[in-house]
Amino acid sequence: LQLIGSRPAPPELRHALYQRCRPQLDDEGMRVHRLLPLAPLAPPELAGDVLQAILAIGRDDDRARLLTAVTPRLAPAQLGALLPLAAQFAEPYPFQALLAAVVARLPAAWLPEALRLVHARAGVLLPPTALAAVMARWDDLTAVAGVDAEAELVLTLEAFARGGSAFLLAALRVLLPRLAHVDGGLPGRLADELVARES
């Protein structure tokens, strides 16, 4: 199943395999082991069925791993519903893995919400892979009505600065390519703040 799921295969074969094995997802003992190979085989119209089976799993790390695997099968309109699920994960790794997978195909209107989730966890995100995923969609984010590019950068840096210098510097490495295109002297103000912190 994993081999077929990882290679190009006719949709009919993938669908038939999923339907044949689907009853195993109702068995709690089999669910975690079967979902990982089955999720990529599910046709898009059955992705919601897979999602419900995943949400019935109790362990955070298993649930996050499987949600990350099924995310590419979901329609973009379904991805916004995964943002609150990502916020429920207590550990940084599953949170970042799922958020990065969701953000890659998330409709632009949801990107500000994704960035807010990053801000809320900034003090534990090292390295900040979730921030990098959102910044990869920077042009889409700043095209959303009402989004102020400079304000978003300031809020992001302030959130990471609360975690300490290591978190601020990690965020700066991600944000520097964006800072070069922001007007208003923001890079100079950030440089002054860094000097003040280090002194």
pLDDT digits (tens, 9 = 90+) for 124-165: 898 999 999 999 999 999 899 999 888 888 889 889 988 888
Residue 98 near residue 79, CB atoms below 8 Å: no
* SS3 at position 153: helix
Residue 117 pLDDT: 94
Per-residue pLDDT, averaged over 107-132, amounts to: 92
Residue 136 pLDDT: 93
The four Cα atoms 132, 134, 140, 145 give a dihedral, to 10 degrees, of -140
Residue 118 pLDDT: 94
Q: How confident is the model at residue 93 (pLDDT cuts 50, 70, 90)?
A: confident
Residue spans of the domains in the chain: they are 1-74, 83-199
Q: How confident is the model at residue 106 (pLDDT cuts 50, 70, 90)?
A: very high
Q: How confident is the model at residue 59 (pLDDT cuts 50, 70, 90)?
A: confident
Task: At 119, list the tokens.
Answer: 């801000």
Residue 110 near residue 79, CB atoms below 8 Å: yes
3-state helix, strand, coil in the chain (%, to 5): 75, 0, 25
Per-residue pLDDT, averaged over 178-190, amounts to: 65
Residue 82 pLDDT: 84
Return the number of other C-beta atoms located less than 10 Å from residue 24's C-beta.
Answer: 15
Q: How confident is the model at residue 37 (pLDDT cuts 50, 70, 90)?
A: confident
The model's pTM: 0.75
Residue 132 pLDDT: 95
Per-residue pLDDT, averaged over 26-43, amounts to: 74
Q: How confident is the model at residue 182 (pLDDT cuts 50, 70, 90)?
A: low
